[in-house]
Amino acid sequence: MNLTLTEDQSMIQEMARKFAQAELAPIAEKLDHEGDRELFLQNLKKLAELGFMGLNIESEYGGTETGTVVLSLALTEIARACSSTAVTMSVTNMVAEVIQAIASEEQKSHYLPKLCSGEYAAGGFCLTETTAGSDPSNMKTTAVLEGDEWVINGAKQFITSAEYAGVFVVWAVTDASLPKGKGISCFLVESSAPGLLISKAEKKMGQTASSTNEVLFDNCRIPKKALMGELNQGFKIAVGELAGGRIGIGSVALGIGLAAMDYARTYTTERQQFGQPIANFQGLQWMMADAYTDLEASRLLLMNAADKKSKGLPFSKEASMAKLFASEKANKACYTALQLLGGYGYIKDYPLERYARDVRITSLYEGTSEIQRVIISRELLREIG
């Protein structure tokens, strides 16, 4: 297996790294502590202009057609500077990929250019509900056809970027008489749709610059043609796209873990105790060695899953493995980095406490670590079934 990046892949990775260092890193602390929606949206627009909001989208729709490997590489670099920006980029790319995969030509031509260009600041992925988290097939949101309109009623929880998303991909029950998970359909709902309401942003532990909201549908009316894909076949679409999203979130986790360890590694060469830099102590050296080994293994798992997806091969198991390992090891790396700073790691003047807060969610969203283990074990048993 050739693990060397192509010239184009390396170029885009470097572009993401330079943008993150120049535009995102200097303001990440400000966005975390104070919030600045205008500044945050400005950077999303800049990312779109660089082509980062449609990395796996065909050029005829405004995308850059660079593939899943590049998407993973770019997300890792963006997350090293600002994970709030990275998660918005990840979800928007995922929304665009759903549309490209199953939408009609008319829908693709209308919505994809707006997502890729930044005309829409972000896209919303409306799947999770209060009673449908780890079990999305248990959703209660409904869509009923009345004449030439679908009428949606229900609520979606924990929706990234809901406040500034231009379009939402929404799943709803369209035939409750079918077995659970079989009567679900997928819709495109514009933010201006009558009856669509956005609740105030949740007060989160981390990734605070990215808004997370409840999205309410109160007799929300959308055109009949807003149905995306086949009627009552939406659940398998959701399951498939979540697998791709796990590569994105694993990449975000990796970026946060690397940022934490890079900061701590430099700190250990500057901090003096017992008359010498603390980097000289073997105990701390081994902590760094273990953390970086875990993060490198995470990178390889992510590249393997991304490569399989790019080649059109089955990748669900590999994506879950990568997301599970990367998110858990990134959490551990942030804890290790904080420990290397000692008391200073607990103070907000240093970025470690932000990394520790930001990374925690990566083992929860796009499927918890426990759900990833369910998926992995199910696939392992299916292989011998």
State the catalytic residues.
366
Return d(Cα 329, Cα 244) in angstroms, integer. 20
- 265 touches 288 (CB < 8 A): yes
What's the CA gap between 95 and 169, in Å, rounded? 7
In 3D, which of 8, 113, 121, 122 has the Cα closest to residue 69?
Answer: 8
CB neighbour list of residue 10: distance below 8 Å, 6 or more residues apart: none
Residues contacting 273, CB < 8 A, separation 6+: none
Q: Bridge-partner residues for 167, per DSSP?
A: 123, 190
User: Please, what's the b/e burial string for 103-126 (b: 16 or more CB within 10 A of its CB; e: otherwise)?
Assistant: beeebbebbbbbbbebebbbbbbb
In the chain, the largest separation of any two C-alpha atoms, in whole Å, equals 80
* Phi and psi at residue 135, to the nearest 5°: -115, 75
For residue 55, give the nearest of 11, 103, 106 by alpha carbon: 11
